[in-house]
Structure formats: structure tokens, C-alpha cells
Chain A
Amino acid sequence: MREKILYVLAAAAALLLARNLHGILLRLPDEAAQGAIYRIIFFHVPAWFTCFTAFLVAGAASAWYLWRRNARCDALAVSAVEVGLVFTTVGLATGMIWARIIWGIWWTWDPRLTWALVTWLIYGGYLMLRRAIDDPDTRAKNSAVLGIFAFTSVVITYKAIDWWRTQHPAAVLSFRTGGGTIDAAMESMFYWNWLAMLLVAAILVMIRMRQEEVGREIDALRRRAHAL
């Protein structure tokens, strides 16, 4: 059943990504000042939305784990963090390439960029913490606490452009500005590509979760082997 869901999701993601790529490259209007480079934004922004979603799921799963001590919640949390970190890397890399052309620099210590990097480091630390603890229950409990508190960094990253004056562009999407700041076709492409990336993220999380569950089975088998 799980395999079938994976195949259906993969087919849907592939179709949607192909449709979006066609739209991004051939149908969307040009941006007056930036040339073709502005089209990176249709991967950059949805990648950030996807990692924020993944970290939200990880935070919720961590809270649920602390409440119910359900091992599947721990598996979901670590899987979502790992996949979220991949999309954070995509967001950082695409942003840096865009900045190289538009700002003339790869990186600047502006509040939005700095907090984005801090978020990347915190969730990287989450994965390192898990590797450092051998006992499965202690590992799950400690990383659940970190998984909840780490989400504050996501909120700060998201709100940085509102709280501080930044070099990073201000919000343009209508749910944040009230409308009138971006072409409707461009805005709808953000959401379509976010949906496509969410599908990709869901596939990756499902694969990673299964591995985490098999890892627990391996731990149980090892304990049995030691007992014999």
C-alpha cells in the first residue's frame, strides 16, 4: 500500500514539476530589471516554504512524541527535519546565486540571511545530536525538545523581513501584503511550485521514515543478539 502511495505521489510530483517548469520558463512574463535570473525565485521561495512546512511538521511530531511516546512520531520528526534541511540548502543555494547577480555578492550578514543560516545550523545540530546519543528513548526525548524549540528560529527567519530593515527583498505575496505587489500569474506559480515541492518532500519523508523504522528493528535485533 505504502509503495503504491509513493508511486502515485511521484507521478503527481513529476507531472506538476514538468507543468511548472514549462510555465516558469515559457509562459510567465519577464521581469523588467532582472532578466532571466528572477525565475530562480520560483524555486527559491517554494523551497523555503517547503522547509518551513517540514520543520512545522517536525515540531508537531516532536510535541506529540513527548506527549504519547509514540516511536512513529519520532521517526516522522527526524525524517521531516532531514528533508527540511535539504530544502533549506536549496533555498540558501538558489538565493546566493540570485544575490551574486542582483547584489553583486554571494552573501551578506543581513538579518534574514543570517537567521536563515542559523536555522540551517540549528537543524543540522539536531541531526548531529541524534547521532551522538545511543539510547533510542533518550535520543528521541532530547531531540523532541530541540525539535520544538528549534522552530522559534523558523519563525524569526520568516518574520525577519518585517522586524528588521533588510537587504533581502520585502514580502510580495498577497497574503502578506494585502495584494497589488506581484503579477497574479507569478504569484500563482509560487503556490503551484510549492505544491510540487511539498509532494517531493512528502515522498522523501515517507522513504526516510521507513528507513528509521527499519533502523529501530535493527536496534531490537541487535539487543536480541546480545541477549543470546
Chain B
Amino acid sequence: MDARNFTYMFYGFLAAWMILVAYLVSLVARERRIRAQMDGLKRMLDQREQT
């Protein structure tokens, strides 16, 4: 492979993957947050319905 500008090609590939990985990480964080919200609400409703 012609190695001219290889560093910037690497930066380009890295940028593409980093953006996708950052989004995936944000999706995982959001998943945890909404699961916690769901569990909290269900617990609260159960308690209210019992009282």
C-alpha cells in the first residue's frame, strides 16, 4: 500500500469508529437509566396499590 498520508487515513478510520462507539456507549447508559426508572416506578406503584 502507498504509505503517503497514512497517519491521516488512520485518524479518519479512528474518528469513524470513535463516533460509533461513543453513540453505542450513550445507548448503553440510556438503557441502564430507563431500566432503573422503570423498576423504580413499578416498585412505587406496587407500594401505592398495597396501601
Query: Are A and B genuine complex partners?
Result: yes
Chain A positions within 8 Å of B, measured between CB atoms, are 25-26, 30-31, 34-37, 39-40, 43-44, 47, 83, 86, 89-90, 93-94, 97-98, 100-101, 200, 204, 207-208, 211, 214-215, 217-218, 221-222, 224-225, 228
Q: Is the CB of A36 within 8 A of B41?
A: no
Residues of B in contact, count (CB < 8 Å): 30
Q: Is the CB of B20 within 8 A of A200?
A: yes
Q: Is the interface of A mostly helix, strand, loop or mixed?
A: helix
A228 to B48 alpha-carbon distance, docked (Å): 7
- Please count the residue pairs between chain A and chain B whose beta carbons lie under 8 angstroms apart in the complex: 93
A120 to B15 alpha-carbon distance, docked (Å): 17
Chain B positions within 8 Å of A, measured between CB atoms, are 1-6, 8-9, 11-13, 15-16, 19-20, 23-24, 27, 30-31, 34-35, 37-38, 41-42, 44-45, 48-49
Residue of B nearest to A34 (CB): B5
Q: Is the CB of A90 within 8 A of B41?
A: no
